[in-house]
């Protein structure tokens, strides 16, 4: 029973945090800071150079996560970019599943992104060349300004409503001080420490564990150390603790099938980037852990190896493309996790990677339903072509 608990629950939790989560956290913050610093410049460039906007849309699409696509969807709702630009980004994106694939199979992911970029570019220009631009009656007119909602206030920092609940003044202050002190030494000035005070107690603790987890995971991943021979395995302890904390962030943030929004795609401060980075990383850890545990449990109790699923051959390509119709990133993350576990073949994953639209489809559904339905339908065409092409080659 103890061995079963270790293999089916504890080790998958630790792997989800230390093999995927900590690397995702590093990438999320890096891209988040870049988007916070330079996002407005990219948006302005798109609106000034509409003819080459599909190129930029496809380039933004291959960036892991959904923030850039959400901004493009919002811009299209105001007719500041072409429909082909949005389609190019949606074809090119692999959403939050990209974080999972980058952490587990970086070389494969780079090849996949080259493919999705090329398909996104071709599809985007084809849509614009056809002059196709669906519009829901009542959608915003061209030229109306795009208004991003302000960053939500942090309850523990004296703000109003927040997605993060207050956990008690003493605990919150202690953890915030600890996070600020630990990270500010790595920052050149006091602004970083001030920003960290607004991150929040639970996300702040997440970053402490993620930092420690990254320091441990790198030598373990490269097999420089073997922690399993120790009486108390730090990999297991830290990994399970990090995964449980990620679940706490997930629950406190009220995340479900999606984690990105217009607000999180346009953070206005470093503390906002760090807070959303903890939420996005936790979102991915939770769904990867769910995929790992489900896979290990299925294998342990039934001997199931995945070949019985309709994910192989022609049926697999069709299934992967159809799963891409599901908005949000949760299902796509689970599929990516199963791929890393060996339960999903390459053609199925490729079809899903091209077809999926991530969280970007959600704001488009809210502002322009007709455009959203056409966009997710159009992305299925290159998805099927890519999936069947890879199936023939393999």
Res 259 pLDDT > 70: no
CA neighbours within 13 Å on the CB side: how many for 94? 29
| Per-residue confidence (pLDDT) for residue 142, from 0 to 100 | 42
* Statement: the pTM of the whole predicted model exceeds 0.75: no
Instruction: Report CA torsion sign: 233, 239, 240, 245.
Output: positive
| Per-residue confidence (pLDDT) for residue 19, from 0 to 100 | 79
Pick from 297, 253, 303: nearest CA to 276: 253
Res 1 pLDDT > 70: no
The angle that helices 313-323 and 346-355 make with each other, rounded to 10 degrees, is 30
Other CB atoms within a 10 A radius of the CB of residue 233 amount to: 18
The number of angstroms, rounded, from the C-alpha of 177 to the middle of its chain's C-alpha atoms is 29
Residues 140, 1: Cα–Cα separation, whole Å: 59
CA distances, 327 to each of 41, 124, 318 (Å): 28, 20, 17
CA distances, 261 to each of 27, 68, 275, 365 (Å): 19, 11, 14, 12
Q: Would you give the DSSP letter of residue 140?
A: P
- DSSP symbols for 346-365: HHHHHHHHHH--GGGHHHHH
Residues 127, 145: Cα–Cα separation, whole Å: 24
| Per-residue confidence (pLDDT) for residue 67, from 0 to 100 | 73
CB proximity list for 76: less than 8 A, separation 6 or greater:
82, 83, 85, 86, 364, 368, 371
6-53 pLDDT, tens digit per residue, is 888 898 899 889 877 887 787 777 777 776 776 666 666 666 666 788
Residue of 154 and 111 predicted with greater confidence = 111
Residue with tokens 């402490």: 208
Instruction: Report CA torsion sign: 104, 85, 68, 41.
Output: positive
- DSSP symbols for 143-202: TPPP-PPPPPPPGGGT-S--SSPP--HHHHHHHHHHHHHHHHTTSSSTHHHHHHTTT-HH
112-165 pLDDT, tens digit per residue, is 999 999 999 999 999 999 988 886 655 554 444 444 443 333 333 333 333 333
Residues 55, 233: Cα–Cα separation, whole Å: 48
| Per-residue confidence (pLDDT) for residue 261, from 0 to 100 | 58
CB proximity list for 172: less than 8 A, separation 6 or greater:
156, 166, 200, 201
351-376 pLDDT, tens digit per residue, is 999 999 887 787 778 778 888 899 99
Among 81-85, 196-200, 227-231, 302-306, top mean pLDDT goes to: 81-85
Res 232 pLDDT > 80: yes
303: left (phi over 0), alpha (psi -120 to 50) or beta: left
182-225 pLDDT, tens digit per residue, is 444 444 444 444 445 566 777 888 888 999 988 888 787 666 77
Domain boundaries, the chain: 2-133+168-393
Q: Would you give the DSSP letter of residue 253?
A: T
Residue 295 corresponds to which tokens in the numbers above?
A: 């896979």
Average pLDDT, the chain: 76
Q: Would you give the DSSP letter of residue 227?
A: G
Residue of 257 and 14 predicted with greater confidence = 14
306-348 pLDDT, tens digit per residue, is 555 556 789 889 999 998 888 777 888 888 988 888 888 999 9
Residue of 284 and 383 predicted with greater confidence = 383
User: In angstroms, what is the C-alpha Rg of the chain?
Assistant: 21
Average pLDDT value for residue range 292-314: 72
Burial 187-224, CB ≥16 within 10 A → b, else e:
eeeeebbebbbbbbbbbbbbbbbbbbbeebbeebeeee
| Per-residue confidence (pLDDT) for residue 275, from 0 to 100 | 85
């Amino acid at each position: 029973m103890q061995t079963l608990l270790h293999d089916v629950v504890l080790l998958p939790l630790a792997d989800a945090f230390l093999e995927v989560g900590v690397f995702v956290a590093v990438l999320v913050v890096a891209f988040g800071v870049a988007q916070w610093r330079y996002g407005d410049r990219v948006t302005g460039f798109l609106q000034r150079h509409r003819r080459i906007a599909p190129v930029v849309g496809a380039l933004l699409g291959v960036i892991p996560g959904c923030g850039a696509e959400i901004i493009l969807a919002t811009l299209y709702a105001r007719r500041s970019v072409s429909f082909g630009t949005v389609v190019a980004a949606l074809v090119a994106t692999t959403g939050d599943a990209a974080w999972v694939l980058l952490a587990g199979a970086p070389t494969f992911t780079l090849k996949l992104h080259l493919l999705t970029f090329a398909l996104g570019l071709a599809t985007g220009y084809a849509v614009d060349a056809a002059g196709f631009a669906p519009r829901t009656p009542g959608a915003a007119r061209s030229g109306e300004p795009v208004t991003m909602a302000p960053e939500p206030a942090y309850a523990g920092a004296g703000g109003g409503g927040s997605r993060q609940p207050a956990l008690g003044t003493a605990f919150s202050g202690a953890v915030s001080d600890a996070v600020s002190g630990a990270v500010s030494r790595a920052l050149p000035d006091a602004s970083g420490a001030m920003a960290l005070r607004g991150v929040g107690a639970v996300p702040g603790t997440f970053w402490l564990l993620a930092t420690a987890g990254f320091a441990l995971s790198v030598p373990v991943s490269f097999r420089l150390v073997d922690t399993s021979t120790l009486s108390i395995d730090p990999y297991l302890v830290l990994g399970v603790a990090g995964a449980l904390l990620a679940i706490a962030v997930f629950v406190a943030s009220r995340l479900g099938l999606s984690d990105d929004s217009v607000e999180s795609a346009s953070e206005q401060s470093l503390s906002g980037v760090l807070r959303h980075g903890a939420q996005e990383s936790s979102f991915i850890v939770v769904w990867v852990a769910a995929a790992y545990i489900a896979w290990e449990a299925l294998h342990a109790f039934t001997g199931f190896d995945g070949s019985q699923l309709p994910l192989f051959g022609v049926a697999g390509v069709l299934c992967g493309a159809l799963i891409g119709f599901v908005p949000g990133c949760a299902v796509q993350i689970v599929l990516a996790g199963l791929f890393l576990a060996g339960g999903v073949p390459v053609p199925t994953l490729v079809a899903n990677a091209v077809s999926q639209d991530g969280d970007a489809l959600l704001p488009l559904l809210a502002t322009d339903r007709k455009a959203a339905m056409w966009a997710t339908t159009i992305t299925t065409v290159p998805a099927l072509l890519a999936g069947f092409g890879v199936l023939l080659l393999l």
